[in-house]
Amino acid sequence: MTIANSQADANLFLETYTFAATSYLVNGDGQTGTSLVVDGGGGSIHKGQTFTVAGVTGTYTVTSVTNASLTDVDLATTVTTIKFTPTLASAASNDSAITLSSQFTLPSRTILNDITIVNNASSNAVTVATSSDNIAHGFSLKAGAGITLNITNADLLTIKGNADETISIMGS
């Protein structure tokens, strides 16, 4: 099959993120270390996203995720295992709630040209800024709107949204 008017190279990427994946639970009692087997849940979990576990002290940062089709990737939906840093402060109990952040920095990427962010959500709550410390100084994308930015490194952007809102990001 030939696709007209398209370009692909090693630096082109397209990803979709759903903010604040919900209802993920620890699947199995007494889990420790730097990975958790999880169940339930909806929405995507991605590298760099932070989370807490009910009954366990601390905030943890996702390093990779696994689902039924993908192993140790930067982004996935219907996640079955979360790898993270640092080590859990104590053992997690079965069915403990996992609360994921709704704000994240894009994973490191070499951007040669630009990055486009599209708000696929029905609200205007998606905010783009230069860092999590400066989120109030960013700008919001209207529902259905998109913007193309000329940047050289995607990890210079922080994005925040509300639970269950989705954005698409494409860069080259």
Please give the pLDDT value at position 160: 76
pLDDT in tens, 6-47: 344 445 566 666 666 788 999 999 999 999 999 988 878 888
pLDDT in tens, 52-75: 999 999 999 999 999 889 898 887
Question: Which position has the higher pLDDT, 80 or 166?
Answer: 80
Alpha-carbon distance values, 154 to 46, 128, 130, 158 (Å): 15, 12, 10, 9
Report whether pLDDT(88) > 90. Answer: yes
The two beta strands, 126-129 and 158-160, are antiparallel
Cis status, amide bond into 86, omega within 30 of 0: yes
